[in-house]
Amino acid sequence: MTDLQVRDAVLQELEYEPMVNPAGIGVAVEEGVVTLNGTVESCVGKLAAERAVKRVFPVRGVVNHLVVRLEARDERSDSELAVEVVRTLDNLAALPPGIIRPTVRGGHVILEGDVTWRHQATVAAQVVRQLRGVREVQNRIAIRPAVPAASIRTHIEEALQRRTAVDPGEIEVEVDGSRVVLKGRVRGWHAVEEALDAAWKAPGVVQVEDRLTVQP
């Protein structure tokens, strides 16, 4: 596909995604790398736009320069938003109360703290992105596993075998302590996301390095 054809496909996918209002989004493509510029109405919409682009074949990379412009009714003071973030995180069953420390500046939320599992950090960021008044979320939560990491590679390879979007033979899994490196060529961004998800969900994983490439 040419860059023009990729751009047309991206625009169609943005129109198709119900979480995205494409009216304020500009799309540029160069050698298969898509750059998004413009404005969206929510932090969730910004992330949904990026994910929509990654679903398009053969997109090779995404640069997300979208800016969240809130409606007047969604504007909140930092103090009000910080209280809401703390209350929301404390009510999450997946997290012990007080384990995450949020900082709020101009609607931008920084999440810090230590958790045992990657999915705890992921869930925390997901629920905060959905709060009214949030413009951006920086997830700085550290994973401090409380389990031995000797079986990390086995867990990941078994998980890859269960993923329909992934051909395990295309992916090489390297493990150094609690750090995982994924290498190989896969068929589409969905396969990349599935492989990364499988790696992050393995017990003991603290870091995942993505060296996967998408086949053109």
Which tens digit of pLDDT belongs to each residue from 144-185?
766 565 688 899 999 999 987 788 788 999 988 788 999 999
Which of 143, 168, 186 is the endpoint of a domain?
143
176 and 138 part of one domain: no
C-beta of residue 16 within 8 angstroms of C-beta of residue 42? no
In the block, tokens 């995450």 appear at 100
8 and 38 part of one domain: yes
115 and 169 part of one domain: no
105's CB contacts (< 8 A; 6+ apart) are 78
pLDDT for 7 beyond 70: yes
For residue 128, the domain's CATH number is 3.30.1340.30
Which strands form 207-214's sheet, in the order they lie side by side? Answer: 171-176, 179-186, 207-214
Mean residue pLDDT across the chain: 91
- Tens-place pLDDT, residues 197-214: 999 988 878 889 999 998
10 and 29 part of one domain: yes
Domain, as residue range, for 30: 3-68
Which of 68, 89, 113 is the endpoint of a domain?
68
User: Band of the pLDDT at 89, cuts 50, 70, 90?
Assistant: very high
64 and 78 part of one domain: no
For residue 157, the domain's CATH number is 3.30.300.130
58 and 99 part of one domain: no
**Average pLDDT estimate for 28-50:** 95
55 and 18 part of one domain: yes
137 and 104 part of one domain: yes
CA 47 to CA 129: how far, in whole Å? Answer: 9
In the chain, the number of structural domains is 3
Which of 45, 68, 91 is the endpoint of a domain?
68
CA 23 to CA 31: how far, in whole Å? Answer: 24
